[in-house]
Structure 1
């Protein structure tokens, strides 16, 4: 598989530039806007270390906790021309730490989008995204933590065709890539191609049913296939969805699907499992809303004894808006991650595992708890402020992956 997103995205940007230049000549009022923001954050465990561990590898006096400042500036573009809608953004950010300055970095976030419409029945979107960001330390574990910047790009084309008032066909094409700056992480560089197709039925009461299939082909271009390591995979998903609004203040959505992942070089790592999601959005009053979520996800895992994680999530997220300018958001989330599936080593007899120094009972199992409380204040039409308190903790069967993190953050944003 040859994934060349970097060769494709200039054409998308060129299209938006040409059209935006013409539209700016006709109406320069609303097309462009400038966004600036500044934020501050303090974490008492920046590197997500287990209790009692200190980042002594950064020096004898290196603290577990530190605060950072983030300054960003972005340019937005948004223009509707007839039935076509063009939009884009590019934001550059600069993050600086007070003590752990080895983690300082410059990042960016950009996208270009064309929402298109042909006639009354055919519509879709073409979207390109590009990001550079610092990889978090929750799952990125090394004996001596280092800064790893990730460059992620994606190009996606969506289309939908309305057969009649009730039936529609839809599909998408996707290319994505991730690149790791740190050499020890470059084996995780990936290229992904995905094709999706489905059918949608909408009832007279606006309940929506969807059935879709998805085919994914993935490569790890800097990884050599080995005894327990694969450098490519193929995955097929079959998924059913429903969205239902029984009353005006309540919306339900549900998804159930099955993933089947194959590895040509290491078939021992193949797996097949069911995933699903149920979400209930409840708005009892004009000022209060609550979102309830129950979800089971399937994700690949590079581990000696497991080929994938089965992740179960339960969350409650209330939102209270006492005035038109003030919104308070809360979240309570519990996540359980269980290692599943087979590998070359998990299929060895226990006596052989013991000779290799592998504990056959040490399949990873983790419980992650997150709760947060934040508030957003719209000070003026173009000026807003935000503050948040957050607590994250993970208990793991492997002590190396345990952590407790408390943080407080504040930000200010102005739209010119």
Structure 2
């Protein structure tokens, strides 16, 4: 196994920034399923309240004696979708402005852009190329501060597939992703991750598929993290050999998995090399009624926006359901649990304990499709962290309420 201590899966951390991105995701959802061609304008307004906005632990005083806050947001953008012969281009671009009632120093202007070219060449070659940029407020789940910490993310990718046979396909892809943090104390989390992968895919007539994926990820951190014994190097190399499965088990059940062997070399952590099983399993059940279900389990490495460590090894599980109450009203409910294991660095004291914590989240969201291009949504989310005294991460609970209205025209 990769680790002797309890492991955690992908972070469930409820990012404050993610709240502000929800409307743009909705705009994409509106554009993609309908596949309407042309240029559409997008606009939205929103309101939110959080009773522990900065995720202050129970054992620490609040900033200025204030834990809760309200915010307002306004955003505008464009959605573009165009098919030219066998090629298709999809673009979503948005600018937003977020203002808080009490913690006014957190006010910021957000940016979001995603452009994807879905290409085909003849009858055997196909793939996609794209770029993504977003500017939003970073998470405070693992970072104790009341200073504004804007995070910028840039991602570029290229993917190409060659159909060897009606049932066989070879695919190769490359991704480059870069994160930059505005706050000086968080600059040690600035990083660039480059991933290259190749896959041999088999897809029989049933529509299910299975593939063998080989992948290498290299992470580079330009700023070295200070420590009592000098500086820490967070750079890593991760090699993966996994099986990708997309199985239509029945007419109403789909199982997806990407799992296998992973070897990670990161000299600043423990013995420097960790290897073993790593992966994620998703299941979807859609009976003929109005309710659909989903569930996931995972065991993965994941980055963390902390001043103490850069990555955790996580394991977790989630369940969810979607109820199509009427033709215009949809309700989503989700719950998740994740346990995070912090691998002690080689420069840290070997006998340290209490290096794990856990995150729990639960959410409920209702969406009313007033008209075909107008949607109003309201949601609630709860997040809690068990904490780790050794890492100075205290226990906390937080509740968030959000209301948004969006329109495409």
Q: Distance in 2 between matches of 1:88 and 1:197?
A: 27
> SS at the partner of 2:371?
coil
| Root-mean-square deviation (Å) | 2.4
Report what 1:96 is aligned to. Answer: 99
Q: Write the deviation string for residues 282-314 of structure 1: whole angstroms up to 9, x where unpaired.
A: 112241100011111123679999885231111
Question: Is 1:311–1:338's contact at 8 Å kept on the other side of the alignment?
Answer: yes
**Counterpart of 1:415?**
408
Superposition deviation, residue 69 in structure 1: 0.6
Greater Cα shift, 33-42 or 190-199: 190-199
Q: Which residue matches 1:278?
A: 281
- Secondary structure of the corresponding residue to residue 386 of structure 2: strand
Aligned to 2:38: 31
Q: How does 1:16-415 map to 2 (within 5 A)?
A: 30-51=37-58, 53-56=60-63, 59=64, 62-141=65-144, 144-223=145-224, 227=230, 229-263=232-266, 268-299=271-302, 309-340=312-343, 342-347=345-350, 360-398=351-389, 400-415=393-408
CA shift in 2, pair 1:155/1:367, >3 Å: same
Q: Secondary structure at the match of 1:173?
A: strand
Higher Cα Rg: structure 1 or 2? Answer: 1
Aligned pair count? Answer: 370
Seen in structure 2, the aligned counterparts of structure 1 residues 407 and 393 have a Cα distance that, compared at 3 Å, is same
CA distance in 1, matches of 2:272, 2:308: 10
State the secondary structure of the residue aligned to 1:102. Answer: helix
Aligned residue in 2 for 1:5: none
The structure-2 alpha-carbon separation of the partners of 1:213 and 1:38, relative to structure 1 and needing over 3 Å to count, comes to: same
Per the TM alignment, residue 184 of structure 1 is displaced from its structure 2 partner at its CA by: 1.4
1:53 is displaced (CA, Å) by 3.5
Give the secondary structure class of the aligned counterpart of 1:251: strand
Cα distance, 1:335–1:232 mapped onto 2, change above 3 Å: closer
**Matched-pair contact (CA < 8 Å) for 2:189–2:310:** no
TM-score normalised according to structure 2 size: 0.85
Deviation of residue 346 (structure 1)? 4.1
Kept after mapping to 2: 8 A contact 1:227/1:344: no
Contact 2:86 2:120 in 1 (8 A): yes
For residue 393 of structure 2, give the secondary structure of its aligned residue in structure 1: helix
Shift of 1:386: 0.3
Mean Cα deviation higher: 185-194 or 73-82: 185-194
Unaligned runs of 5+ in 1: 1-28, 348-359
Cα distance, 1:240–1:227 mapped onto 2, change above 3 Å: farther
Note closer, same or farther for the CA distance 1:259–1:301 as it changes in structure 2 (3 Å cut).
farther
Counterpart secondary structure, 2:327: coil
Question: Residues 245 and 251 of structure 1 are in contact (CA less than 8 Å); yes or no, is this contact kept in structure 2?
Answer: yes
Does the CA contact (< 8 Å) of 1:255 and 1:277 recur in 2?
Answer: yes
Larger RCO (alpha carbons 8 Å, 6+ apart): 2
Against the structure 1 CA distance between its residues 127 and 385, is the aligned structure 2 distance closer, same or farther, given a 3 Å change threshold? Answer: same
Mapped to 1, the partners of 2:396 and 2:299 lie a distance apart of: 23
